Structure 1
Amino acid sequence: MEILWKTLTWILSLIMASSECHSDHRLSYSSQEEFLTYLEHYQLTIPIRVDQNGAFLSFTVKNDKHSRRRRSMDPIDPQQAVSKLFFKLSAYGKHFHLNLTLNTDFVSKYFTVEYWGKDGPQWKHDFLDNCHYTGYLQDQRSTTKVALSNCIGLHGVIATEDEEYFIEPLKNTTEDSKHFSYENGHPHVIYKKSALQQWHLYDHSHCGVSDLTRSGKPWWLNDTSTFPYSLTINETNIRHRQKRSVSIERFVETLVVADKMMVGYHGRKDIEHYILSVMNIVAKLYRDSSLGNVVNIIVARLIVLTEDQPNLEINHHADKSLDSFCKWQKSILSHQSDGNTIPENGIAHHDNAVLITRYDICTYKNKPCGTLGLASVAGMCEPERSCSINEDIGLGSAFTIAHEIGHNFGMNHDGIGNSCGTKGHEAAKLMAAHITANTNPFSWSACSRDYITSFLEKCAESSGASAKATAVSPTVFQQLRGHYVKLGILKKGPSGGGKYCLGERKRYRSCNTDPCPLGSRDFREKQCADFDNMPFRGKYYNWKPYTGGGVKPCALNCLAEGYNFYTERAPAVIDGTQCNADSLDICINGECKHVGCDNILGSDAREDRCRVCGGDGSTCDAIEGFFNDSLPRGGYMEVVQIPRGSVHIEVREVAMSKNYIALKSEGDDYYINGAWTIDWPRKFDVAGTAFHYKRPTDEPESLEALGPTSENLIVMVLLQEQNLGIRYKFNVPITRTGSGDNEVGFTWNHQPWSECSATCAGGVQRQEVVCKRLDDNSIVQNNYCDPDSKPPENQRTCNTEPCPPEWFIGDWLECSKTCDGGMRTRAVLCIRKIGPSEEETLDYSGCLTHRPVEKEPCNNQSCPPQWVALDWSECTPKCGPGFKHRIVLCKSSDLSKTFPAAQCSEESKPPVRIRCSLGRCPPPRWVTGDWGQCSAQCGLGQQMRTVQCLSYTGQASGDCPETVRPPSMQQCESKCDSTPISNTEECKDVNKVAYCPLVLKFKFCSRAYFRQMCCKTCQGH
């Protein structure tokens, strides 16, 4: 069957290099034929329906059962709709075996389709074709994703680890279609996501403030999001609030509206199927586990506008069109439904509205430009703002719609106000502001996950009995055991199919906060020791925690004891492990989370100058001093004694010198730089605390510790030249009578301005407000100051000048060849950042540095040997079932050398024999020989011939019909020497011969003697 499939599958690859810019109407194509001309490349393939094992079933891939259901009916009859389908297709040198499951969950059971004319609704129906599927590639379930509809052929997206592919049926409108026969399957167009990306690389449309001219490389072509107010969700808060990816299931009932231009392009016949095919992909995107929340996009209502609406303005101007659409969709919002039942007016409620238009929209003017979508950030819970406008560009529109709904859920672009997509962090995903070849639009970044998690949690926290209707939409529903309930904190046991854990979102709190007993094993040390019995690269080691720098604090990095190397044994330590020894912060889910000095996760409790949690700084005194004595011959000299219990210890040289700070106990045991031996700068665990000894190459050396110290210590200096001075300060514990706040006052103070958040193009500086003691200006906990008099935090912009021009370098596109030398290209643009989220594209001359290369050779290695098949022989035999044969050789990629067959892959070897037939063989037939001599030498006689039934091969057969058998004997006449007897009476039997009847019976008349003796009897025989 594999042979048959390969012989029936062909690929046509059209490579169209875009060497010049398109017109402003680059997306305004009017047919599939024109659409294909905009693609960088595409291929044609014929998919086939197969079984689970890949065996051929049919060339028919479209839904031929016409299984439809009404909105109010029970689940579909499995006899009507096929719940599992398998397809095969071949493209771009790869074979795709699709494993698909019927998806009916993305359409509401109250789903309706409405057709609106200029006076409003004209007619509607509630039928749904069950032809929408989701799934994966066979044997690649964890790494691939598929969302396809087969209403009129395969229509959807296939996402692999390397690329996303769009597929749709080839319409009979192109010149190419006449070269193909539709008897053995229907051709489909398949193209990569990267084929769409190339459109905007050469688009020079003049869109003053569109994302294209700001950034040069927009999301999914271009995307703009309106920010009507300042969000309180910042990156710090998100990181602080991140939980494990467990969630209550949520349902977003969606209204989809298609304008009249959509009807004109897709036609009434296909518009419903097309839109639901796109929304099937959108629903699949929101069911991806990377979102960290279970969100179901449910299409509740589809409105098709056949004419302009009086109160709805749709044109090129995206801002005005979105504003008009949001008001219009709210005006038709059903307020009679509570989400549990269909209202009397038959109109389903919706939580979100999606407008799909064929207008080439622009975010600031009524002319075409590069914008593809527009939405309000965090508008999901507000009926008048839970909406978006999306330009139809084909199947890629699904990613635009998902992206814009993401904005409605409070998501910002990856890399805008967050770290995702920036250097050193994970790549940008579906919410990317700039699409690249490496952008994965089929999954969500950690930042998107944090945004939507925080948004949903704020909705949940605001949905109490006193919450206003505008704070949380009462119709963003959650489903529990088949019933709808209003949004809230629902308790539900974990469940799911491995992608999600459905149930109450996990929250964490501190426990067992008491100090561990003296001598207890360090928790991180125990985790490293657990790997002692596991081989590492074939050997066993004893592992200790690695405490050096340059590693993630919440990864388990272990040092091989006795060896000079360390390695990461686990990507994350066990939850609750301290991030580092000098901090109370702990690791959760591989991330460091803040712990207050009260050992409470997320607490804002802070230590005072005495290291008392929540204290007022009254239990210690500050000791400061300056030491500059010297010895004439050098040596160790005491600087200061540090009593037991001291905290915030700082010892620092005032200038660089050849002298060294040392530390010892009262018993003359040196801990640092003793016995005239100089230690490397590092962390030293001394007297119950960690001392950090620093000796930079261009700064004076220092010694610091948080404390408290568990013994008395003495700071020494090893003098090798004149002592230029050493400053020291620390706080020593004291015993006071009464509370310290009776002796000193406290006041709010602004901290110094923070560093500017950006070096150019506009950053922010902040002044934090803290509570301080009046006597020594040390920081204490905020509750010692009057909360009513607390001033606001100051904030100001800084470094507002534009950044210097720099090169924007896109990712390399796929190499044109996999071996034997190909070429690859990338986008190179000169850009300048002029605002926090705004860039402009300049001429190449604007960037002063050398222009990066845009094209380079790649994959120069020789291709491996490959199979080369010679021509097929003629079919033998000439009719009926037979075989054709050919020779298959293992050749070099340039075909110049022949190798032994063992050097080529046996799995990919083309067949050397295939079945064939030149038509049915002719049936057996009667074949006659030549007539023999006449039996009579004179007069009448008989002559004989052979009659045989032979097949077309000349072999004897018994299948010839007797009714048409030719005679094997006939009468004949030979001329006599004498005058022939004219009187027939002279031919008579000799009377004395009585056996003439027997002569006739035994067919002896052919013999001359018997014929003469029985002339009359034999006459005619």
Structure 2
Amino acid sequence: MEILWKTLTWILSLIMASSEFHSDHRLSYSSQEEFLTYLEHYQLTIPIRVDQNGAFLSFTVKNDKHSRRRRSMDPIDPQQAVSKLFFKLSAYGKHFHLNLTLNTDFVSKHFTVEYWGKDGPQWKHDFLDNCHYTGYLQDQRSTTKVALSNCIGLHGVIATEDEEYFIEPLKNTTEDSKHFSYENGHPHVIYKKSTLQQRHLYDHSHCGVSDLIKNGKPWWLNDTSAFPSALPINGTHIHHRQKRSVSTERFVETLVVADKMMVGYHGRKDIEHYILSVMNIVAKLYRDSSLGNVVNIIVARLVVLTEDQPNLEINHHADKSLDSFCKWQKSILSHQSDGNTIPENGIAHHDNAVLITRKCVESSGVSAKATAVSPTVFLQLREHSVKPGILKKGPSGGGKYCLGERKRYRSCNTDPCPLGARDFREKQCADFDNMPFRGKYYNWKPYTGGGVKPCALNCLAEGYNFYTERAPAVIDGTQCNADSLDICINGECKHVGCDNILGSDAREDRCRVCGGDGSTCDAIEGFFNDSLPRGGYMEVVQIPRGSVHIEVREVAMSKNYIALKSEGDDYYINGAWTIDWPRKFDIAGTAFHYKRPTDEPESLEALGPTSENLIVMVLLQEQNLGIRYKFNVPITRTGSGDSEVGFTWNHQPWSECSSTCAGGVQRQEVVCKRLDDNSIVQNNYCDPDSKPPENQRTCNTEPCPPEWFIGDWLQCSKTCDGGMRTRAVLCIRKIGPSEEETLDYSGCLTHRPVEKESCNNQSCPPQWVSLDWSECTPKCGTGFKHRIVLCKSSDLSKTFPAAQCPEESKPPIRIRCSLGRCPPPRWVMGDWGQCSAQCGLGQQMRTVQCLSYTGQASSDCPETARPQSMQQCESKCDSTPTSNTEECKDVNKVAYCPLVLKFKFCSRAYFRQMCCKTCQGH
């Protein structure tokens, strides 16, 4: 059992640990019997199988059905594997009533077991024994954890609030045979984890490693749930500060490798059961709520090494063993998989590799040597001792490993769309034209105004003055806005470089040339402050075709208005003495943004390039206070332009704080700029060796105002006829980037959200209700039972026509039955009739019939047993004639009278009359 606990501790600790480990003790036992002699204390117990109420069922606790299935097949047949089991055992003065549920989720549906010899894989299978369970102690669900396997007996861990108990079947030793009779159950060894720890305090002959968890309450039983338990102490309320994760459920697909020493100790027969029993415990503990996130440990692949591998060196040097194992496991990865699917060779992807060995591996600072060379985590485990702390470095900067479904995005179809092509966002809005909105149909166009999320699909009803969000997220690849190359992915705006590549750092220069140095255009700047009479349009500046980065801005607020027109005097903005609302205008092949804030001067901006010459005008209604303008016009140069122009790194202004409270971050991006006009160019124009680091500082560190945290509604207690559902409601205050504290409900000033409400109040549909079955008829043999089936309301108070209940779910009204085998048919005989002769020999008849047990005629009686229906009979004859005194004599002409007498025909009236004398007396 020490083997189980040590391996479990290794797996749990190594995944969580990141520090160096020291030496404490050495445990290396060659058998269970030897290990028990070193335990300070253990007990023997006989577990029994019981029902939910604790009633005895059987002494058999191991899985005798040997139900195996392929992981890739459909869910298990409940007839083959027991989904719920209950056991009882007693130890240390306590009674344990185990409530267990079959656990198949810790093994991947693509799970395989491979046996490797010296030359690689020898054979493999994908069968899994359904004998691994998790659960709790009956009536102690919230405070206990149980993970047991019953493949060859109960093997696992029972964790209570104050102690952890480990149990395994007692092997066939001389000790157990003296105390137990196997007819009354199989003895098991049970002992406390503390028994191991106490002994190790005095054991200095160690293997170079030590326990990470020294003592105290088991980490998986620490109650750190998200619900507050605010208890006043001395009148002061204690604020429970805790971190809450908003992450989703995690999945860690794991490769487990067992070396030949493990096979030699446990044997091929039990090695699979043993490894999966340990991983069943690990999977149970990592789903505990105390971790903050649900982590699903999934065994994707089990490799059993029956011989040493040529490229895998496992010895007492931890760092060498680690390096060798990391390289070896990488060599057996499939190179045909994209990380999301199972390749044709059937080898499943894994995030995490675990080696379990019985070699004594010493750790000497190996965790500091294990640098990250790939995003995969590699662990090495020693089965007979505790962890050496071998854990590869994880993602930097507080990142997380890529768990769950893997997705990669990349740019495609980066060529410009042809002229006249339909806008992608416009097409998405148009898809809603045939869907009613509040009972009416509209033609939808993209809403291009402000105040909305850039990656939500907001559409404007054409011909109406309202817009609405038709979808929370646009289709991946849609531009965030018309003035940017950035695209939406999963509802978030992602940066796209000017080369149309997702995540590229390629940027435009001041001339809007991707990757340019700013030498293909000249900057035009000016200030228009002419004093002109009021009451008319005045020209400010002409903007040539191809101009980019256009900015026109009043220097002070005024009653004047900026206007824009073409060379042909066609006004686009604020023409004909009509003032337009501030918005975006599509003019000359680019988007002009006309802004008129209530407390700032108005402005006109466009990225360009423009497709025609434009003229900026001003409608004067009062004295001209000044208008500043600037734009870049294209020029043609030979060579690189100004050869004397230099470039230098420059810090941009501080960005906005990433958070308004509880600690945000401001950054100063480092960009490459031209020295002559300070315009930004591609980074490759600056010396990369002299690039300064990006500046960063915290901001807005004050706590956020209290707010309500509202959890998701739990499932309704009833599906119809009115149930109740609840949710968690907490008053929280964010005090750090990833830290919050819970407050009294009074801390939140807004109305407290409801925590409980009724649900599914609709009436339940009618349902079929069956009355009792009638008696089986007939009384023997195959017959039928009948019953009445009614369509009733859910409360059984009303009866409905049968048509209101689903016909496909109607229970049967007649079934076959049998009360036992019926008696076979038999021959029945009547009484014999009268003899056909009044004197002498004759015949008599009787009836013979084949009748069933019901008295009905049958043809199933055996013909060989049929009784006779006719037999010979003889009547006594009188010795004197019955007629007158006429002489009795033979008729003279008859000469056969002697023969009549000889053949006994005298009984016949004719022969007796003709041979009266001969037959007289016979």
Normalised by the length of structure 1, the TM-score is 0.48
For residue 681 of structure 1, report the CA deviation from its aligned partner. Answer: 2.8
Aligned-partner Cα distance in 1 for 2:220–2:701: 29
* Corresponding position of 2:626: 725
For residue 60 of structure 1, report the CA deviation from its aligned partner. Answer: 19
- The answer on whether the counterparts of 1:133 and 1:149 sit within 8 Å (CA) in structure 2 is yes
- The answer on whether the counterparts of 1:805 and 1:831 sit within 8 Å (CA) in structure 2 is yes
1:806-833 CA distances to partner (integer Å, 9 max, x unpaired)? Answer: 4332211221211111111223344444
1:90-140 CA distances to partner (integer Å, 9 max, x unpaired)? Answer: 999999999999999999999999999999999999998799999999999
- The answer on whether the counterparts of 2:113 and 2:304 sit within 8 Å (CA) in structure 1 is yes
Alpha carbons of 1:256 and 1:56: their partners in 2 closer, same or farther (altered >3 Å)?
Answer: same
Question: Is 1:532 matched with 2:433?
Answer: yes
- The answer on whether the counterparts of 2:319 and 2:369 sit within 8 Å (CA) in structure 1 is no
Query: Which segment drifts farther, 469-478 or 803-812?
Result: 469-478
Aligned residue for 1:226, secondary structure, equals coil
- The answer on whether the counterparts of 2:352 and 2:379 sit within 8 Å (CA) in structure 1 is no
For residue 676 of structure 1, report the CA deviation from its aligned partner. Answer: 2.2
1:466 to 340, 351, 367: 367
- The answer on whether the counterparts of 1:340 and 1:484 sit within 8 Å (CA) in structure 2 is no
1:405-445 CA distances to partner (integer Å, 9 max, x unpaired)? Answer: xxxxxxxxxxxxxxxxxxxxxxxxxxxxxxxxxxxxxxxxx
Aligned-partner Cα distance in 2 for 1:238–1:735: 72
* Corresponding position of 2:284: 284
Query: Which segment drifts farther, 904-913 or 707-716?
Result: 707-716
Query: Which segment drifts farther, 671-680 or 221-230?
Result: 221-230
Question: Is 1:808 matched with 2:709?
Answer: yes
Aligned-partner Cα distance in 2 for 1:154–1:91: 14
Aligned residue for 1:492, secondary structure, equals coil
- The answer on whether the counterparts of 1:111 and 1:301 sit within 8 Å (CA) in structure 2 is yes
1:686-711 CA distances to partner (integer Å, 9 max, x unpaired)? Answer: 23322112344565433211123344
Aligned-partner Cα distance in 2 for 1:845–1:798: 28
For residue 787 of structure 1, report the CA deviation from its aligned partner. Answer: 2.8
Aligned-partner Cα distance in 1 for 2:359–2:868: 104
Alpha carbons of 1:218 and 1:606: their partners in 2 closer, same or farther (altered >3 Å)?
Answer: farther
Alpha carbons of 1:563 and 1:851: their partners in 2 closer, same or farther (altered >3 Å)?
Answer: closer
Alpha carbons of 1:902 and 1:130: their partners in 2 closer, same or farther (altered >3 Å)?
Answer: closer
- The answer on whether the counterparts of 1:256 and 1:303 sit within 8 Å (CA) in structure 2 is yes
- The answer on whether the counterparts of 1:762 and 1:836 sit within 8 Å (CA) in structure 2 is yes
1:893-912 CA distances to partner (integer Å, 9 max, x unpaired)? Answer: 23333222222222222222
Aligned-partner Cα distance in 2 for 1:533–1:289: 47
Alpha carbons of 1:617 and 1:909: their partners in 2 closer, same or farther (altered >3 Å)?
Answer: same
Aligned-partner Cα distance in 2 for 1:803–1:207: 51
1:713-765 CA distances to partner (integer Å, 9 max, x unpaired)? Answer: 33333345666654444345567898665555543222222222233443322
* Corresponding position of 1:500: 401
Aligned-partner Cα distance in 1 for 2:834–2:712: 95
* Corresponding position of 2:411: 510
* Corresponding position of 1:75: 75
Alpha carbons of 1:494 and 1:928: their partners in 2 closer, same or farther (altered >3 Å)?
Answer: farther
Larger Rg: 2
For residue 884 of structure 1, report the CA deviation from its aligned partner. Answer: 1.7
- The answer on whether the counterparts of 1:248 and 1:503 sit within 8 Å (CA) in structure 2 is no
Question: Is 1:253 matched with 2:154?
Answer: no
Aligned-partner Cα distance in 2 for 1:868–1:161: 47
Aligned residue for 1:7, secondary structure, equals helix
Aligned-partner Cα distance in 2 for 1:115–1:902: 60
1:526-561 CA distances to partner (integer Å, 9 max, x unpaired)? Answer: 999999999999999999776556888789998897
For residue 955 of structure 1, report the CA deviation from its aligned partner. Answer: 0.7
For residue 601 of structure 1, report the CA deviation from its aligned partner. Answer: 6.0
Question: Is 1:788 matched with 2:689?
Answer: yes
Aligned-partner Cα distance in 2 for 1:15–1:495: 16
Query: Which segment drifts farther, 644-653 or 931-940?
Result: 931-940
Aligned-partner Cα distance in 2 for 1:745–1:999: 160
1:818 to 712, 719, 743: 719
1:210-249 CA distances to partner (integer Å, 9 max, x unpaired)? Answer: 9999999999999999999999999999999999999999
For residue 777 of structure 1, report the CA deviation from its aligned partner. Answer: 3.5
For residue 608 of structure 1, report the CA deviation from its aligned partner. Answer: 3.1
Query: Which segment drifts farther, 515-524 or 302-311?
Result: 302-311
Query: Which segment drifts farther, 615-624 or 641-650?
Result: 615-624
Alpha carbons of 1:497 and 1:519: their partners in 2 closer, same or farther (altered >3 Å)?
Answer: same
Aligned-partner Cα distance in 2 for 1:48–1:352: 37
- The answer on whether the counterparts of 1:809 and 1:827 sit within 8 Å (CA) in structure 2 is yes
Alpha carbons of 1:854 and 1:535: their partners in 2 closer, same or farther (altered >3 Å)?
Answer: closer
Alpha carbons of 1:295 and 1:897: their partners in 2 closer, same or farther (altered >3 Å)?
Answer: closer
1:315-357 CA distances to partner (integer Å, 9 max, x unpaired)? Answer: 9999999999999999999999999999999999999445999
Alpha carbons of 1:796 and 1:113: their partners in 2 closer, same or farther (altered >3 Å)?
Answer: same
- The answer on whether the counterparts of 2:511 and 2:521 sit within 8 Å (CA) in structure 1 is yes
Alpha carbons of 1:560 and 1:32: their partners in 2 closer, same or farther (altered >3 Å)?
Answer: farther
Alpha carbons of 1:823 and 1:160: their partners in 2 closer, same or farther (altered >3 Å)?
Answer: farther
Aligned-partner Cα distance in 1 for 2:3–2:325: 54
Between the aligned residues of both structures, percent identity stands at: 96
1:450-471 CA distances to partner (integer Å, 9 max, x unpaired)? Answer: xxxxxxx999999999999966
- The answer on whether the counterparts of 1:252 and 1:477 sit within 8 Å (CA) in structure 2 is no
Query: Which segment drifts farther, 632-641 or 238-247?
Result: 238-247
Aligned-partner Cα distance in 1 for 2:688–2:238: 26
For residue 860 of structure 1, report the CA deviation from its aligned partner. Answer: 0.7
Q: How many residues align?
A: 922
Query: Which segment drifts farther, 884-893 or 274-283?
Result: 274-283
For residue 680 of structure 1, report the CA deviation from its aligned partner. Answer: 3.3
- The answer on whether the counterparts of 1:22 and 1:202 sit within 8 Å (CA) in structure 2 is no
Aligned residue for 1:728, secondary structure, equals strand
Alpha carbons of 1:816 and 1:584: their partners in 2 closer, same or farther (altered >3 Å)?
Answer: closer
- The answer on whether the counterparts of 1:10 and 1:45 sit within 8 Å (CA) in structure 2 is no
For residue 674 of structure 1, report the CA deviation from its aligned partner. Answer: 0.9
Query: Which segment drifts farther, 815-824 or 208-217?
Result: 208-217
Aligned-partner Cα distance in 2 for 1:896–1:835: 59
Aligned-partner Cα distance in 2 for 1:69–1:301: 16
Gaps of 5+ in 2: none
Alpha carbons of 1:510 and 1:611: their partners in 2 closer, same or farther (altered >3 Å)?
Answer: same
Normalised by the length of structure 2, the TM-score is 0.52
For residue 581 of structure 1, report the CA deviation from its aligned partner. Answer: 3.7
For residue 921 of structure 1, report the CA deviation from its aligned partner. Answer: 1.5
Query: Which segment drifts farther, 783-792 or 157-166?
Result: 157-166
Aligned-partner Cα distance in 2 for 1:967–1:765: 118
For residue 919 of structure 1, report the CA deviation from its aligned partner. Answer: 1.8
Alpha carbons of 1:182 and 1:963: their partners in 2 closer, same or farther (altered >3 Å)?
Answer: farther
Aligned-partner Cα distance in 2 for 1:913–1:10: 61
Alpha carbons of 1:724 and 1:468: their partners in 2 closer, same or farther (altered >3 Å)?
Answer: same
Aligned-partner Cα distance in 2 for 1:845–1:999: 135
Alpha carbons of 1:816 and 1:271: their partners in 2 closer, same or farther (altered >3 Å)?
Answer: farther
Aligned residue for 2:191, secondary structure, equals strand
Query: Which segment drifts farther, 1003-1012 or 612-621?
Result: 1003-1012
- The answer on whether the counterparts of 1:3 and 1:911 sit within 8 Å (CA) in structure 2 is no
Alpha carbons of 1:334 and 1:893: their partners in 2 closer, same or farther (altered >3 Å)?
Answer: closer
Alpha carbons of 1:288 and 1:336: their partners in 2 closer, same or farther (altered >3 Å)?
Answer: same
Alpha carbons of 1:911 and 1:266: their partners in 2 closer, same or farther (altered >3 Å)?
Answer: farther
For residue 937 of structure 1, report the CA deviation from its aligned partner. Answer: 15
- The answer on whether the counterparts of 2:2 and 2:35 sit within 8 Å (CA) in structure 1 is no
1:494-528 CA distances to partner (integer Å, 9 max, x unpaired)? Answer: 99999999999999998998878888887888999
RMSD value, Cα: 17.2
- The answer on whether the counterparts of 2:148 and 2:156 sit within 8 Å (CA) in structure 1 is yes
Alpha carbons of 1:849 and 1:593: their partners in 2 closer, same or farther (altered >3 Å)?
Answer: closer
* Corresponding position of 2:498: 597
Aligned-partner Cα distance in 1 for 2:182–2:44: 13
Query: Which segment drifts farther, 866-875 or 920-929?
Result: 920-929
- The answer on whether the counterparts of 1:118 and 1:310 sit within 8 Å (CA) in structure 2 is yes
Which protein, 1 or 2, shows the higher relative CO under an 8 Å CA cutoff with sep ≥ 6?
Answer: 2
For residue 678 of structure 1, report the CA deviation from its aligned partner. Answer: 2.8
Aligned-partner Cα distance in 2 for 1:482–1:698: 73
Aligned-partner Cα distance in 2 for 1:195–1:873: 64
- The answer on whether the counterparts of 1:690 and 1:707 sit within 8 Å (CA) in structure 2 is yes
For residue 801 of structure 1, report the CA deviation from its aligned partner. Answer: 4.4
For residue 793 of structure 1, report the CA deviation from its aligned partner. Answer: 0.9
- The answer on whether the counterparts of 1:463 and 1:472 sit within 8 Å (CA) in structure 2 is no
Alpha carbons of 1:92 and 1:773: their partners in 2 closer, same or farther (altered >3 Å)?
Answer: farther
- The answer on whether the counterparts of 1:338 and 1:475 sit within 8 Å (CA) in structure 2 is no
Gaps of 5+ in 1: 358-456
